[in-house]
Structure 1
Amino acid sequence: MYTYINQEHSALTKILDNYPTQVDAALKDIKLDAQNWLVLATGSSINASRSAKLYMENIANIHVQIEEPFNYTMYESVSRNTDLVLGVSQSGQSTATIDAIEKVSRQRSVNRIAVTSRPDTELPAACDTTLDILTGKERVGYVTMGFNATVLSLMLLALRFAKQSGTIDSTQEKAELNEFANVIGRIPDVIKNSEEFYAQHKQNMLTPRQYTAIGYGATVGTAMEFQTKFVEVVRYPAGGHDLEAFMHGPYLGIHKDDVQFYLVTNAQQVVLEKMAALRNYEANYIDNIFTINLGRNQDTGRHNSLNLGAVDDPFKAPILAVTPIQLFAWLITNDHGVDLGHQIFTDFSEVVHNKTTVQDYV
């Protein structure tokens, strides 16, 4: 897992260097007036999709609807307004996502794109084209590199669609690519700074009653991935929440021994003030509160702020925001003495059929 975290810089650089080749292949024959995109994904793939959603909508002037595929297949109706369907599964073998794609195909004639690291699997076979995220098979079930590769690939898909549909011009496209390159170039420093921050604060992060992450805007998907990753590897109760949603019930479940993380990015002043008000209130009742700060105002007065430098476009911030979370999950797991190389529940996929084949993890 740690190896893959450290490969994120090179993996995302490779994706950017291959732009627009892999994206053009996915967009082949896609109608340029497609305005309503449906994304079907679960697990880390849906968290990645939510992380990319606001950038996609903003750059391409489209609407992105994201659905859990099993619930969509069993209970939802296929909207007549849907222009394009994306099935997102890093393994390409999520049975729920494949079933949902097939449901759409039976009811509507609409283009389908598989977003995956494995173009030779069942999901691409159920779709018209494939967006290869170019990471190959991630041999660890607790995905990290592939998560960020999915986020970036979805963003670049929308960027290229925006250019092809005339929403932006070549100058704007190039400017966006330069911004992505600058953000990706910061990943090694983010890893280094996060490791140093953890070494400084690890005793306060190790044994809470529960872990919580709170974000807003594009980092809501990051907060949800926090929940997924901490439950998967740290194996403690964990929650990832939208800022406002946390204030409507979940705040009542706090405990003084909890550990909370606040994800701060550039935002409207009213959002920043709401986040600060919540953090300050919670600090009256919780001993260990940390901030992962990618906003313009770096928090030099707070001992527990991991200041990573501003990402000017907050919709690109998830590319960096998730890396400290992945790293903290790995480091805490190590310090708990959990051996991730020892697989648990090895018959799970065979019994519940969440994947088309039993996954071969190291």
Structure 2
Amino acid sequence: MKSIKDYVSLEQEFYSNVLKNKDELYDSQFNEEILKGISNIVIFATGSSSNAAYSALPFMSKTTGLPIYIEEPSIAANYLLNFNDDTLYLAITQGGHSYSIINLVEKFEKNGKKIFTLTSDDSSPAYEVSDNVLSMGMPIEEMPYVSAGYSVTILDLFLISMRIGNILGNLSDREESDFLADISGIINKIPDIIDRSNKWIEDNINIFQDAKRLVWIGYGSTYGVSREGETKITETVGISSWGKELEEYMHGPYLGLHEDDLIIFIDPNGTLEDRVDRLHEFLELHVDNVYVINSVNKKHEKDLDLNVTCNELLASLYMTIPVHLLSFELSQRKGNDLEKSAYPEFDKITKSKI
């Protein structure tokens, strides 16, 4: 079975294949008739799929020109199930076995309402119950803890949003072409990003492995990355981890600061870079270990500079690479076996996966 590290190394290949096949994957699914009268988009997702949706959200908003909302499928299905004809609905389940997504899609189909399901497994229960399936364009990720699937979901959402934005007249052919060129440039840099990330982890692993709580702080497209950091560290390492939006952390959670916290900013060097600098200055007064993962412009000795210059809305395509690699390395230091679930009886009892 491949490891998280193996799947991170496959992201360049997976991205390239999705980009090459984008017309086949999404062009026939979205057209003027489907999008007629659409005024907003609702995405249903949970776990890493939800993290990926938040990572894609700013770019999707920019390219579609539409309000976009992300909702938990269980809450929606049980308490908020209102169908609107002017809403484009999208459900994400990478493996296709999520009970909450399957239950939600079944309720949509039962009521004769259209919902698109994005998944990687064409033999999964989600695929079978869905009338409108969107392929992720990658093989099934044979790991209990997804990494490449999270990343490819972001690219899928980028391409879907560009298709929608172009049809609606909110994204010109030139703008779409420019974004695609930028994405291709990022894909070409992935091997270097992996090398830089591994070196940074190796240099700091002795400090990272002693962390009792790890706090990730992001903004814009890296808010979803910070959420993924919380998810992956909690899942694979088994220590307390938070993933916070920059201003959210500054509006209360900082008061729960511990001097032995390990804090990592994920800064795409974008609109709120100055706010990161201010919070970093404060945190260094109270915490020994504060790090920044930058797209460019390394400012502190402990920072990781990924050396990628691009629109900050695209940063989530590559800034999760060090996050996933760190979760893997820490899990191995802890002696955790990631090839099997830590609690194999969980799904059997709770039926969270079908």
| TM-score between both structures, scaled by the size of structure 2 | 0.94
- Could you report, residue by residue, the CA deviation over 1:324-352 in whole angstroms, capped at 9, with x for unpaired residues? 10001111111222222354211211110
Check the 8 A contact 1:349/1:355 in 2, yes or no.
yes
What pairs up with 1:1-362 in 2 under 5 angstroms? 1-27=4-30, 30-78=34-82, 80=84, 82-106=86-110, 110-268=113-271, 271-295=272-296, 298-299=297-298, 301-356=299-354
Q: Tell me the distance in 1 between the aligned counterparts of 2:229 and 2:139.
A: 23
Check the 8 A contact 2:225/2:320 in 1, yes or no.
yes
Higher alpha-carbon deviation: 121-130 or 84-93: 121-130
Q: Tell me the distance in 2 between the aligned counterparts of 1:194 and 1:355.
A: 33
- Could you report, residue by residue, the CA deviation over 1:120-169 in whole angstroms, capped at 9, with x for unpaired residues? 32223333322211222111111001110101001100111122233223
Check the 8 A contact 2:216/2:230 in 1, yes or no.
yes
What is the Cα deviation at residue 7 of structure 1?
0.5
Check the 8 A contact 1:32/1:161 in 2, yes or no.
no
Check the 8 A contact 1:25/1:130 in 2, yes or no.
no
What is the Cα deviation at residue 110 of structure 1?
4.0
Q: Tell me the distance in 2 between the aligned counterparts of 1:164 and 1:110.
A: 22
* AA of the residue aligned to 2:124: T
Check the 8 A contact 2:117/2:133 in 1, yes or no.
yes
Q: Tell me the distance in 2 between the aligned counterparts of 1:67 and 1:193.
A: 35
Check the 8 A contact 1:30/1:111 in 2, yes or no.
no
* AA of the residue aligned to 2:318: L
Check the 8 A contact 1:40/1:46 in 2, yes or no.
yes
| TM-score between both structures, scaled by the size of structure 1 | 0.92
Q: Tell me the distance in 2 between the aligned counterparts of 1:111 and 1:96.
A: 17
Q: Tell me the distance in 2 between the aligned counterparts of 1:213 and 1:25.
A: 39
Q: Tell me the distance in 2 between the aligned counterparts of 1:354 and 1:206.
A: 31
- Aligned pairs, number: 350
Check the 8 A contact 2:38/2:85 in 1, yes or no.
no
What is the Cα deviation at residue 176 of structure 1?
1.6
Relative to 1, partners in 2 of residues 1:259 and 1:81: Cα closer, same or farther, differing over 3 Å? Answer: farther
Relative to 1, partners in 2 of residues 1:253 and 1:59: Cα closer, same or farther, differing over 3 Å? Answer: same
Check the 8 A contact 1:114/1:131 in 2, yes or no.
yes
Percent identity reads 26
Q: Tell me the distance in 1 between the aligned counterparts of 2:84 and 2:133.
A: 23
Q: Tell me the distance in 1 between the aligned counterparts of 2:58 and 2:122.
A: 26
Check the 8 A contact 2:294/2:304 in 1, yes or no.
yes
What is the Cα deviation at residue 287 of structure 1?
0.9
Q: Tell me the distance in 2 between the aligned counterparts of 1:324 and 1:233.
A: 14
Check the 8 A contact 2:144/2:340 in 1, yes or no.
no
Check the 8 A contact 2:63/2:165 in 1, yes or no.
yes
* AA of the residue aligned to 2:285: N
Q: Tell me the distance in 2 between the aligned counterparts of 1:170 and 1:342.
A: 45
Q: Tell me the distance in 1 between the aligned counterparts of 2:110 and 2:46.
A: 21
Relative to 1, partners in 2 of residues 1:120 and 1:164: Cα closer, same or farther, differing over 3 Å? Answer: farther
Root-mean-square deviation (Å): 1.7
What is the Cα deviation at residue 79 of structure 1?
5.2
What is the Cα deviation at residue 293 of structure 1?
0.2
Q: Tell me the distance in 2 between the aligned counterparts of 1:213 and 1:130.
A: 33
